[in-house]
Amino acid sequence: MTTPIDISEQSGVRFLHFGTLWIQGAMRIARPWSLELEYTREMMASLLLRDASHWPRKVLLIGLGAASLTKFLYRHRLLAHLTVVEIEPDVVAAARQFFKLPEDTKRINLVIGDGAEYVLNCNKKFDLILLDGFDQNARAGVLDTLPFYQACRARLSDDGVLAVNLLGRSRGFRGGLSRICAAFEDRALVFPSCESGNAIAFAAAGNPIEISFDDLKENALALKEETGLNLLPTLARLAQARTCLNNRLVL
């Protein structure tokens, strides 16, 4: 790796850095299975969009980081098989040593490789693709291009959902959203930016999604009861932004 992996701790939270101040992942040491960073919690809003009783069964995660999303799904979606693609072996080692990444080869398939190449070359279908891959300077590179988003769409099942962490820097995240919209024929939606500047975009392929805010709240309450994850503030921000017509989320 061209830059070192740094581990820091502050106020009971352990952080992962790639040789810069940019935070690549975090874990509250007393609650290692919880989602510490707001944007990771918002990426799990994808779980509100389909039937939670059997979805998702097959998940692809591009970018391991501190393994927060991997651990959450591993613990709370017991029927899901997780494929995680991480380009840096040292990140995998750090996730195991410092962030309690489970070693369960039956449910977690860890692939050391380039996420874009994996998506372009594989022939598998996934119910959920979570895209959270950045370099040490918080750049997504080829993971934020139209051909890559088109390849992601081709890899989604009939109930497939793509969730993307769009980290807006000087140019913001609108370019990335426009590329996702182009790849998914406008079946995409971005949630209002988190305080950290992250904005989470969702896109769907196959079967349509149309769900009222009341049903979203009901799903969020069930998810909170099951996992402790509270997405009600996220839904409130989405409602205030008025990006969903007639209080319905349609993808």
pLDDT tens digits for range 86-127: 999 999 999 999 999 999 999 999 999 999 999 999 999 999
Distance CA 46, CA 44 (A): 5
Contact criterion met (CB below 8 Å) for 84 and 115: no
Per-residue pLDDT, averaged over 14-22, amounts to 84
Choose from 17-21, 39-43, 141-145 the range with maximum mean pLDDT: 39-43
Q: How far apart are the first and last CA of the chain?
A: 39
pTM, rounded to two decimals = 0.92
Q: Which amino acid is at 54?
A: H
| CATH dotted code for 35-250 | 3.40.50.150
Which comes out higher in pLDDT, residue 167 or 187? 187
- Report the range of poorest mean pLDDT among 29-33, 149-153, 237-241: 237-241
The DSSP symbol for 193 reads P
Catalytic-residue membership of 132: yes
Exposure of 213 by Cβ count < 10 A (0-12 exposed, 13-18 middle, 19+ buried)? middle
- Break the chain into its structural domains and give their ranges: 35-250
Q: Which of 51, 104, 114, 132 is catalytic?
A: 132
Distance CA 117, CA 121 (A): 6
Distance CA 161, CA 128 (A): 5
Can you give the pLDDT at residue 2?
55
Torsion of CA 109, 113, 119, 125, to 10 degrees: -10
Can you give the pLDDT at residue 204?
96
Can you give the pLDDT at residue 137?
46
DSSP-derived pairing of the beta strands 13-17 and 23-28: antiparallel
Can you give the pLDDT at residue 242?
74
Please report which confidence band the pLDDT of residue 54 belongs to, taking 50, 70 and 90 as the band edges: confident
Distance CA 127, CA 205 (A): 10
